[in-house]
Amino acid sequence: MSREANLDQAAASQVPTSERPPISEAALEESAWRALRRAHAPYSRFAVGAALETRTGEIAVGCNLENASLGLGICAERVALFSALARGWQPGGRLVIVTRTARPTAPCGACREVLRQFVPQLQISSISASGARKQWHLQDLLPPVAPNVGRIKTDHRTCIARKRDGRELTTAEIHGLIQGLVSGEVDPYQMSAFMMAVCWRGMSRREIRDLTEAMLGSGARLDLSGLPGARIDKHSTGGVGDKVSIPLVPLVLAAGLRVPMISGRGLGHTGGTLDKLDSIPGYATELPIARLHELVRDPGGFIAGQTRELVPADQIMYALRDVSATIESVPLIVSSILSKKLAAGLTGLVLDVKFGCGAFMPDRQAAEELARVLVDVSVDLGLPAVALLTRMDDPIGETVGNVLEMQEAMRLLTDTEVAADLRELTLGLGGLMVALAGGARTMGEGADLLERKRRGGEGAEFGKRWIAAQGGDPHVVVHPDALPVSSSTRVIRARTEGFVQSINARKAGRLCTELGGGRHRMEELIDERVGLHFHRRRGDRVSPGEALVTLFLPQGAKGEAPVDGEDDLYRIGQEPPPEAALIAALVTKQGTFEDPWNVPVGSPG
């Protein structure tokens, strides 16, 4: 410490505590932002600053300091707390956290446990780069103990080693690991090691079921048992241009179903439904459980993000899957999806398992294996489920990018001329939801019902009610072009004559991400106004000079300069491409069916 700092501290110590003015919120924020600039985060690129008030009027600051060994880094919140304690300062009641993320960020599980020991009544304020603010009481961030499950004591290191060696874990061992994760007894690096062992060695169906149940038991559940009628959700394994959920929800609501849909954000080349909905002025994606319950009552459903109370174990593990290179693990995929769906109070689940160059699963065989495990485990745990296998080689619809996709999704509710693949997927998945609820015999019959709701305007009316109920502007349903897109564009034109063989979905998603419309890490900001609008699609005949796609660039960018990857989007050949069914098969508990439109669904359990 410098001589001047020593003199300042000495002078401050001579001022009686009662005479010191209270620390303002602005002073805490300014101190936290200054601390953030000193963060050392070369691995996560996620800088955090923190400022903790003390009972005697000082401000203790901290920033995150990372190490090449994951477990040896330390978060900003703990640095601030330990700094105060090391100086003999008693922590006060307020902590301010600042980040460069789009949304406020809460402390990690380890920080919450440490803070609880020293400052159990702490008030936490988090501020993002956009100026968004959120506040919590520390106790509200601590996970509840799993209901009706006693504390299970296990040797976590032994469990990890047993799975590493390919041995099957007991139910108690799996529950003990998950309970230890949410309580802070199991460190993130230990869970990463366990997840890698699962990725390499796999799990039996019984282990996957136990893991799903343990994750489900880590938090609260959305109890909708008092509401009449079927509660059906749809989940997609992720794709490019996948805007299906947005028109699907109001159409299915119009058919009389309840739709509690917990959705997610985009990462990498795939887009996220919540990112698209964020483009609607006022629309709230982060809601407490009590409000979600109200929305399922009226207008009948919602699309919102995972709340902090629901499945906290999954929130930790989902973040670790990316950094631990275990995204591909089927047991981890299944337990993540189903624990959230089981917590949402559903009576049925429709799964859209995609395969192809733009999907997570590269081919149909891998997709069918995943669908089979998802359906079997879901039914085993009491949730009727069916799955469609759908192709994801070309982007869905005519657009990729958040506002552009939002506009196209709304047009499906009001226009007669819409992209054929978007219409087919929306009506097919929605029709299957209706059939699973008992409102139709087959997916085809359910799709016919939804098409009548679409053409009759009922879907659009429910769209307005749903969006307004979540705080959004309902006028976007009938006036989607009012949502602003970038005015900086670049048109890519055909160089040869022929037929469009394909549009590479993965490369389209990556290009949108590089334009700023997606993210590589969850904390990154996105530009909702950029994207791609395809004028010619698979099977279309094109001539030299004809417009293929318009790129919506970051506002102010010059459209004359080539964009990396633009020449790799289209493949043009001299013959029309072979026909291939978009919806390839239906997977139920009874088997796999190649004619999904006409298979009686009945009760899949």
Concatenate the DSSP letters of all residues of 371-399 into one string.
HHHHHHHHHHTT--EEEEEEE-SS-SSSE
Which residue out of 210, 278, 314, 394 is catalytically annotated?
314
d(CA 373, CA 370): 5
- Cβ–Cβ under 8 Å, residues 144 and 217: no
- Cβ-Cβ contacts under 8 Å for 3 (sequence gap 6 or more): none
- Cβ-Cβ contacts under 8 Å for 411 (sequence gap 6 or more): 418, 480
Query: Does 314 qualify as catalytic in the annotation?
Result: yes
Question: From the centroid of its chain, how far is CA 524?
Answer: 13
Which residue out of 321, 391, 507, 529 is catalytically annotated?
321
Tokens at residue 581, please?
A: 């069914």
Nearest CA to 316 among 442, 191, 501? 191
What's the number of CA atoms in the CB half-sphere (13 Å) around residue 205? 12
Which residue out of 112, 163, 231, 235 is catalytically annotated?
235
- Cβ-Cβ contacts under 8 Å for 91 (sequence gap 6 or more): 52, 53, 54, 55, 60, 81, 84, 85, 118, 119, 122
Query: Does 153 qualify as catalytic in the annotation?
Result: no
Between CA 208 and CA 218, with CA 213 as vertex, the angle to 5 degrees is 130
Concatenate the DSSP letters of all residues of 267-335 into one string.
BTTB--HHHHHTTSTT------HHHHHHHHHTTSEEEEEPPSSB-HHHHHHHHHHHHTT-TT-HHHHHH
d(CA 212, CA 174): 10
Query: Does 204 qualify as catalytic in the annotation?
Result: no
* Number of Cβ atoms within 10 Å of the Cβ of 3: 7
Torsion, Cα of 294, 298, 300, 304 (10° steps): -50
Which residue out of 94, 269, 276, 340 is catalytically annotated?
340
End-to-end CA distance of the chain: 69
* Residue 125 backbone dihedrals phi, psi, to 5 degrees: -115, 135
- Positions marked active-site: 235, 314, 321, 336, 340
